[in-house]
Amino acid sequence: MSLRSLDRFHVPLSGFYFLYFAALGGLIPYFGLYLRSIGFGPGAIGSIMALLMSSRIVAPLVWGWLADHQARRMVFVRLASLLAFVAFLGVYAAKGFWPVAATVFVFGFFWNASLPLLEATTMSHFGSDPGAYGRVRLWGSIGFIASVLSLGAAIDRFGPWSVLPVLSVLLSGIWLIALILPEAELRGHLGHPGSLRQALMRREVFAFLLACFLMQLSHGPYYTFYSLYLAGHGYPESVIGALWAFAVVCEIGVFLAMRRLLARVALRTVLLGSFALAALRWLLIGFFPSHIVILVLAQMLHAATFGAFHAVAMQLIYRFFTGHHQHRGQAIYGSASIGLGGAAGSFWAGRAWTAIGPAGTFALAALAASAAFLIALVLMRPRTAR
């Protein structure tokens, strides 16, 4: 790839990541606060957030299949981005549990379609260089930081409803920048690597996907209730936003250091470390919510539990699924982990939060991360995940 085409690829791609994760920075920390402000309790909030996650079970598979059978993949990224923006506008009019839930699910079906397509294309260009992906993906982290900090201050001043217009603007921006993502540079490499079923039947692939499911399951209480949890302990939204942002700053550091890290440490070792540190992180959050220093230390671990985990997962998917299977490999990973794992995590967290309390819920999250560690340790062969 020439320097000129590389520049054409990097700038709009970095902008897409920035806006996409800025929108995520509004959805994950603050949408639950908006739902609480219109009268929903923990069970309803958990169910609605589970629906948002569950839409990623189906959406990547459908859109990934379409992308694998069409040469012009960016058409689907643009279409999904537009429809996500249009669907989100329905939140303004939705009243009551079922209208809100249905609107969120439809929005999620389109919202969760574009990123896996773009991730697969990004890895097809940069997969042979483990550090290159992190340098592009860090712009998403910067967007997330900008969003959580600014929205935290806005909610302190204007209330949780302010999440809606900010998200609307960001979603429209995602669609607009998708219009200028170049098609030719995003085709990726093709090939005939054998059947997808053969790839999925490999023991290390199955173990990896199961471990990722459990890892995302363990994040359920954090993604669904972390902001509400801290607000209940007296922290203002600006401080809550700062804690979210600090976690992502640590994540950026890992993305920047990933090339040197993976030159010295095997992928499997980094993956195992991320699972172990996730278990520790959930215990710290669950049992020490009144100690700001411990909360800061727990947020530092986001560097491992998301940053290192995600970068290694992208690299392993690139190695496990090759040629024409790249998009469906990304789709299967997204469906099994962020989709199924995220939905199950949000749903059970909503039930456990009321039944056994926040500390018990985060303790169960730590058990799920520990199970992911054991599965990867026993079933993922070192020589296949180096």
Angle at 376 between CA 346 and CA 297, to 5 degrees: 60
pLDDT at position 314 is 86
pLDDT band at 128 (very low <50, low <70, confident <90, very high): low
Which of 107, 102, 350, 332 minimizes the C-alpha distance to 223? 350
Q: How does pLDDT run across 133-163, given as a tens digit for each residue?
A: 777 788 998 999 999 889 888 888 899 999 9
pLDDT at position 137 is 82
pLDDT at position 320 is 84
Asked whether residue 184 carries a pLDDT value surpassing 60, the answer given is no
Q: 3-37 vs 237-264: helix axis angle to the nearest 10?
A: 140
Buried b (16+ CB within 10 A) or exposed e, 30-44: bbbbbbbeeebebeb
Asked whether residue 245 carries a pLDDT value surpassing 80, the answer given is yes
pLDDT band at 122 (very low <50, low <70, confident <90, very high): confident
Q: 97-126 vs 3-37: helix axis angle to the nearest 10?
A: 160
Which of 242, 222, 171 minimizes the C-alpha distance to 32? 222
Per the model's pLDDT, the better-predicted residue between 263 and 97 turns out to be: 97
Mean predicted confidence (pLDDT) in 280-291: 97
The conformation of residue 89, written as its DSSP 8-state character, comes to G
Highest-confidence range of 21-35, 106-120, 328-342, by mean pLDDT?
21-35
Buried b (16+ CB within 10 A) or exposed e, 240-257: bbbbbbbbbbbbbebbeb
Asked whether residue 199 carries a pLDDT value surpassing 80, the answer given is no
Which of 320, 299, 178 minimizes the C-alpha distance to 244? 299
pLDDT at position 89 is 97
Write down the residue that tokens 């699924």 correspond to. 321
Asked whether residue 270 carries a pLDDT value surpassing 90, the answer given is yes
Structure tokens at 224: 């669904």
Q: How does pLDDT run across 291-321, given as a tens digit for each residue?
A: 999 999 999 999 999 999 988 998 898 888 7
Task: Tally the C-alpha atoms within 13 A of residue 52's C-alpha that lie toward its C-beta.
Answer: 23
Architecture of the domain made up of 3-384? Up-down Bundle (1.20)
% pLDDT > 70, the chain: 86
pLDDT at position 2 is 41
Query: Taking a C-beta distance cutoff of 8 angstroms, is the pair 302, 28 a contact?
Result: no
* Mean pLDDT over each residue of the chain, to the nearest integer: 86
Q: How does pLDDT run across 32-76, given as a tens digit for each residue?
A: 999 999 999 988 998 998 888 888 888 878 887 777 666 667 888
Highest-confidence range of 21-25, 128-132, 151-155, 366-370, by mean pLDDT?
366-370
pLDDT at position 382 is 67
Domain ranges of the chain: 3-384
